[in-house]
Structure 1
Amino acid sequence: MEAQVGDWVVVESPHVGEPRRVGLVIRVEHADGTPPYTVRWTEDDHESLFLPGPETHIEKPEALFGSK
């Protein structure tokens, strides 16, 4: 998995009926874009160091919000 600052982390819920988590990548620890990432989570605006699991994917900003 590779991400850049400004990309979105999307974590799908492993449980039916629970919402997915979405967060903005605000820091990438490695130049090649590999984890871990510092993410600001949209549900409560907290920041955390994040290591993605198999239920995680990266979305480019234009994929979520369209290009301008």
Structure 2
Amino acid sequence: MHAVPGDWMVIKGTVVDEPDQVGLIREVHSEDGGPPYLVRWMNDDHETLVFPGPDAYVVPEASKTSSDEHERRRYAELQEVVAARQAHAHTHPSG
């Protein structure tokens, strides 16, 4: 496993319906990018030193940024569809 500060640590949920744990890698304590990593967890903003197991993987910062932008665009498109339907419903009330 290799990481640099700014990458993201993901630990897969081990129980059905349990969300993955996602955290920002703040520090890498090995010159070759290997563990341990100081990670700030998104669910509660605490920081821990992590020695990742087989259920963990690193998402490079660039990949996460691209994925986040895609999700923002999808969300904005959905908001536009909802707003258009609401406007249509207000101008054409059924009844």
Instruction: Verify same fold: TM over 0.5.
Output: yes
SS of corresponding position for 2:63: helix
The code of the aligned residue for 1:34 comes to G
Aligned to 1:18: 18
Aligned to 2:63: 63
Q: Flag the structure with more relative contact order, 1 or 2, with Cα contacts below 8 A and sequence separation at least 6.
A: 1
| Distance across 1 between alignment mates of 2:47 and 2:65 | 22
Matched residues, percent identical? 44
The structure with the largest alpha-carbon Rg is: 2
The code of the aligned residue for 2:40 comes to R
SS of corresponding position for 2:62: helix
SS of corresponding position for 2:15: coil
| Distance across 2 between alignment mates of 1:24 and 1:8 | 5
SS of corresponding position for 1:66: helix
Which structure: greater strand fraction?
1
In the alignment, does 2:35 pair up with 1:35? yes
| Distance across 2 between alignment mates of 1:64 and 1:28 | 18
Gaps of 5+ in 2: 70-95
| Distance across 2 between alignment mates of 1:62 and 1:4 | 12
The root-mean-square deviation of aligned C-alpha atoms, in Å, is 1.5
Aligned to 2:49: 49
SS of corresponding position for 2:16: coil
SS of corresponding position for 2:33: coil
